[in-house]
Amino acid sequence: MSTIQSKPAPIAGLRLNNIALAVHDLDAMIAWYESVLGFVVSERGRFDTVSAEYAMIEAGGMRIELVSRAGETARPADRTAPPMHLNMLGWKALVLESDGLAAATAVLQQHGVEIVWADQPLSAHLRSTMIRDPEGNMINIFGAAK
């Protein structure tokens, strides 16, 4: 007699709510995401269970939850340079898309943003500008190849 075990079905009905980013200086990071990337704060509050302050920021249908535990010792973001950053497991970058990558890159340069690479080809159809936010988190902006 053989016993065939079926796998349970995956969870149904999931959808993305937001991406959470732990930050050291909540106010400074809110200001940077607003002034450089055009996000706006839609909600601000506190998670008492984990003793953390948060701000929900939104732009273009995206939601990022910036969360900070003030007074705690923070471990800095991984600053391994590409392509070696792919050898470190875990989330790599916030990936955005622009209809005008060259113009977006120029604006980033005007803001004095730390640029990892600017308007570089990734494939025959895709170009990318990779930056870091003030706390070292990578943000990759894709655009169509010229």
Domains of the chain with bracketed CATH: 17-70 (3.10.180.10), 80-146 (3.30.720.110)
What Å distances lie between residue 78 and 97, 98, 139, CA to CA? 23, 25, 13
Q: What is the full DSSP assignment across 80-100?
A: PPTTGGGGS-S---EEEE-S-
Q: Which residues are bridge partners to 3 per DSSP?
A: none
Instruction: Please tell me the predicted confidence (pLDDT) of residue 1.
Output: 61
Instruction: Please tell me the predicted confidence (pLDDT) of residue 40.
Output: 98
Instruction: Please tell me the predicted confidence (pLDDT) of residue 73.
Output: 86
Half-sphere exposure of 60 (CA within 13 A, CB side): 10
User: pTM of the prediction?
Assistant: 0.90
Determine the 3-state secondary structure of 112 from DSSP: coil
First to last CA, the chain: 63
Instruction: Please tell me the predicted confidence (pLDDT) of residue 2.
Output: 63
Task: For the chain of 146 residues, list the mean pLDDT of each consecutive stretch of 10.
Answer: 82 95 96 98 97 97 95 86 89 94 97 97 96 96 93
